[in-house]
């Protein structure tokens, strides 16, 4: 494995490219995770139905099924990463533009199925684009720079969520649904410019003897046979369960406590900024503490902040709501960065996109199912019981850290091959 001093420092153009790509991915996610739950609850939509919005993330769970082909196929003119990113991001822009042309109140009520269909298409395009983007990130950044790289990833993603979450709530209140969604589509189109102007160096596709379904098995068999991979995957699938259970119900709870859209937008804005600071702290901690200790610290902070939300009841002071919301987002940003950086350590050279995608899909497997039940659980045991349960799940997941310690600490062949791999693509300086 190449030691850190031999790893070239990524250029500012590289950081700009990655930040724009992950910010673009955060835009549709913020719409679904932050803006829609509040808008739907304001329209009187049932909590159980709001919780089922988590099922729109199904393409993010299933994308591992087509990820090997994303690693293999290159556009003859646009190149590998650009050949996927440009048309897919353009498709999301078109879907947002179509939403901007439709009537908002009707979409949130009698045309709810049409809204779900368009959001599913957006998630399908964004999830497939994510395969190419994650593979590009692993190739561009050596191990030395992946902590900072994942800070840029999570920070950019959270900025995108901030703009389409709190920003959209504020704009809907002032400009209406149509102009607010049109602004979101224009912003996403502007974020396409860095990858449009980026010049990608050609790199060969990985050697594969199989095709069709056999390619899928062949592609992942090598990764899953790595020593200690079972313990790592168990931790990976459990680490964010508490967050997945709690996060869909935070905005509906605040709406039920009397918070309006404007106040929610301001709260989401400030808490998202804290999430970005938490992401930067996560990159620093990963570099200082290593994967195992950083995951332990991030997991503890995540569990405690989720459980603390149970103290919010009718009449809770605004200062308490702000304090807990800011801490929860900071812990989420920190824990996400260290988790993603640890996932990058497991990727093999020339298989970066699919290897990272498989881990991300498995991480979403239980998280998506648990998140889809959040509304039902909130109705059954109330918001305080839901958040206490989420905190307990977060602490229980940390019991899997010790069995996975060997995988996180070992200098494995898969990790070495990634660190030693040449950078096939470079942005224009």
Range with lowest mean pLDDT among 44-48, 209-213, 267-271: 209-213
Backbone angles phi, psi at 79, to 5 degrees: 100, -170
Number of compact structural domains in the chain:
1
**Rounded-to-integer distance, Cα 321 and Cα 79, Å:** 48
**What gap in Å lies between CA 66 and CA 46, rounded to an integer?**
34
What's the whole-number mean pLDDT along residues 138-144? 77
Q: What is the mean pLDDT of residues 257-268?
A: 83
More confident residue, 6 or 186: 186
pLDDT, greater one: 1 or 236? 236
User: Domain range holding 260?
Assistant: 12-198+219-412
pLDDT for res 315 = 74
Res. 111: pLDDT tops 70 = yes
- Average pLDDT of every residue of the chain: 82
pLDDT at 206: 54
What is the percent of the chain with per-residue pLDDT over 90, rounded to a whole number?
29
Flag whether 427 is in a domain. Answer: no
Whether the full predicted model's pTM is greater than 0.95, yes or no, is no
Q: State mean pLDDT over 68-92.
A: 85
86-109 pLDDT, tens digit per residue, is 999 999 999 999 999 998 788 877
In a domain, residue 190? The reply is: yes
Residue 419 has pLDDT above 60, yes or no: no
Asked, for residue 142, whether it belongs to a domain, the answer is: yes
- pLDDT of the residue at 323: 93
51 in a domain, yes or no?
yes
Task: Please indicate, yes or no, if residue 2 is contained in any of the structural domains.
Answer: no
420 lies in a domain? Answer: no
Q: Is residue 59 part of a domain?
A: yes
Average of per-residue pLDDT across 54-75: 82
At residue 420, does pLDDT exceed 90? no
Query: Residue 220 has what pLDDT?
Result: 81
What's 323's domain CATH number?
1.20.1250.20
Q: What is the 3-state secondary structure (H, E, C) of the chain?
A: CCCHHHCCCCCHHHHHHHHHHHHHHHHHHHHHHHHHHHHHHHCCCCHHHHHHHHHHHHHHHHHHHCHHHHHHCCECCCEHHHHHHHHHHHHHHHHHHHHHHCCHHHHCCCCHHHHHHHHHHHHHHHHHHHHHHHHHHHHHCCHHHHHHHHHHHHHHHHHHHHHHCHHHHHHHHHHCHHHHHHHHHHHHHHCCHHHHHCCCCCCCCCCCCCCCHHHHHHHHHHHHCCCCHHHHHHHHHHCCHHHHHHHHHHHHHHHHCCCCHHHHHHHHHHHHHHHHHHHHHHHHHHHHHCHHHHHHHHHHHHHHHHHHHHHCCCCCCHHHHHHHHHHHHHHHHHHHHHHHHHHHCCCCCCCHHHHHHHHHHHHHHHHHHHHHCHHHHHHHHHHHHHHHHHHHHHHHHHHHCCCCHHHHHCCCHHHHHHHHCCCCCCCCC
pLDDT digits 0-9 by tens, 142-193: 777 778 888 888 788 878 887 888 788 888 888 888 999 999 999 999 999 9
Taking residues 275-290, report their average pLDDT: 87
411: pLDDT confidence band, cut at 50, 70 and 90?
A: very low
Give the lowest-confidence range in 72-81, 277-286, 340-349, 379-388: 72-81
Q: Hey, which residues does 75 pair with through a beta bridge?
A: 79
The pLDDT-based confidence of 54 (bands split at 50, 70, 90) is: confident
pLDDT for res 239: 94
Let me know if residue 286 belongs to a domain.
yes
């Amino acid at each position: 494995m190449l030691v850190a001093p031999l790893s070239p420092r990524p250029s500012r153009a590289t950081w700009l490219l990655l930040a724009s790509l992950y910010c673009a991915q955060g835009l549709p996610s913020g719409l679904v995770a932050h803006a829609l739950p509040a808008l739907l609850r304001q329209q009187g939509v049932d909590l159980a139905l709001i919780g089922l919005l988590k099922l729109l993330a199904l393409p993010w769970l299933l994308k591992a099924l087509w990820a090997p082909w994303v690693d293999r196929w290159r556009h003859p003119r646009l190149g590998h990463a650009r050949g996927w990113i440009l048309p897919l991001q353009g498709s999301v822009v078109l879907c947002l533009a179509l939403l901007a042309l439709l009537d908002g109140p009707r979409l949130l009520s009698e045309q709810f199925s049409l809204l779900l269909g368009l959001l599913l298409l957006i998630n399908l395009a964004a999830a497939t684009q994510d395969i190419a983007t994650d593979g590009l990130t692993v190739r561009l950044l050596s191990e030395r720079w992946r902590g900072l790289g994942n800070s840029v990833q999570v920070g950019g993603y959270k900025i995108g969520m901030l703009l389409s979450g709190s920003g959209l709530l504020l704009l809907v209140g002032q400009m209406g649904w149509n102009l607010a969604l049109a602004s979101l589509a224009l912003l996403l189109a502007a974020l396409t410019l860095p990858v449009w102007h980026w010049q990608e160096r050609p790199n060969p596709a990985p050697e594969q003897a199989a095709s069709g379904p056999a390619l899928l098995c062949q592609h992942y068999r090598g990764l899953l046979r790595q020593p200690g991979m079972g313990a790592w995957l168990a931790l990976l699938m459990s680490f964010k369960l508490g967050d997945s259970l709690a996060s869909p119900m935070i905005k509906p709870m605040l709406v039920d406590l009397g918070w309006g859209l404007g106040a929610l937008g301001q709260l989401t804005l400030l808490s998202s900024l804290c999430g970005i600071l938490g992401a930067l702290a996560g990159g620093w901690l990963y570099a200082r503490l290593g994967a195992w200790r950083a995951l332990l610290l991030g997991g503890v902070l995540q569990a405690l902040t989720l459980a603390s939300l149970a103290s919010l009841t009718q009449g809770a002071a605004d200062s308490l709501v702000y304090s807990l919301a800011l801490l929860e987002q900071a812990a989420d940003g920190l824990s996400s960065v260290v988790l993603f950086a640890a996932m990058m350590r497991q990727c093999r050279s020339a298989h970066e996109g699919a290897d990272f995608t498989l881990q991300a899909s498995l991480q979403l497997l239980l998280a998506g199912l648990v998140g889809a039940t959040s509304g039902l659980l909130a109705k059954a045991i109330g918001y305080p019981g839901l958040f206490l349960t989420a905190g307990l799940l977060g602490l229980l997941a940390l019991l899997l850290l010790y069995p996975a310690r060997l995988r996180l600490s070992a200098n494995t062949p898969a990790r070495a091959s990634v660190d030693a791999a040449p950078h096939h693509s470079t942005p224009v300086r």
